[in-house]
Amino acid sequence: MPSRVLHFAYDTSDARAQADPAAYEEIVEQRLQTIGECKVGGLPIWSSFLARRMKPTLRTCVTTDARQSSLSLKLARAANTRVDFELEQQNQELLKSMNARTRLQLRLRWKFYWSWPSPTMRSDCSDISSKPGMTAGS
C-alpha cells in the first residue's frame, strides 16, 4: 500500500509540475485583462463568473496537492521506520550470534589452556610458581 501511494504521488507530482493551479489562474487572469471585458446590461461579466466557479476549484486542487504531499512524506517516514526497525532486529540477532561464538571460543581456549601439559604455556599465571617442583620459567 505505501509503495502504491508513493508511486501515485510521484506520478501526480510530475503532472502537477506541468499543470500548476496558480500558473493556470494567472494565465486566465491575463487573458481576461487582454479581452478588456465590460458589463453589458444586467449580464455578469466573465471575470465574476470565473471567480465564482474557478477559484474554489483551484483552492481544492492546491489543498489536495498539499494533503497528498503530506501523506507521501508520512508514508515515506513510516516505511523508513519499518526498514530501520527490521535492520535493528537483524543487527541484534547478529550481535547475539557473535556473542555466542565469542563465548564458545573463550571456553575452548580456556579448556585448551588448562589441559595443556607444559607449564611454559601457562607462564603468565602467578600461581604456578607456588606449586612444588614448578617454576614460572620452566
Range scoring the smallest mean pLDDT among 1-10, 33-42, 55-64, 94-103: 1-10
Whether 123 is covered by a domain: the verdict is no
Q: Does residue 107 lie in a domain region?
A: no
- Given this model, what pLDDT does residue 91 score? 93
Taking 60 as the threshold, does the pLDDT of residue 37 lie above it? Answer: yes
| Structural domain includes residue 112 | no
- Is the residue at 105 inside a domain? no
12 part of a folded domain: yes
Alpha helices per DSSP H over the chain: 2-18, 21-35, 46-115
pLDDT digits (tens, 9 = 90+) for 10-28: 555 555 545 677 888 888 8
Grid cell 500500500 is found at 1
Does residue 68 contact residue 12 with C-beta atoms inside 8 Å? yes
- Does 69 fall in a domain? yes
Among left, alpha and beta (phi > 0; psi -120 to 50; other), residue 133 is left
Task: Determine, yes or no, domain membership for 8.
Answer: yes
pLDDT given at position 45:
86
Please tell me the total count of domains within the chain.
1
Entry pTM: 0.45
Asked whether residue 18 is domain-assigned, the answer is yes
Domain coverage including residue 9: 2-35+43-84
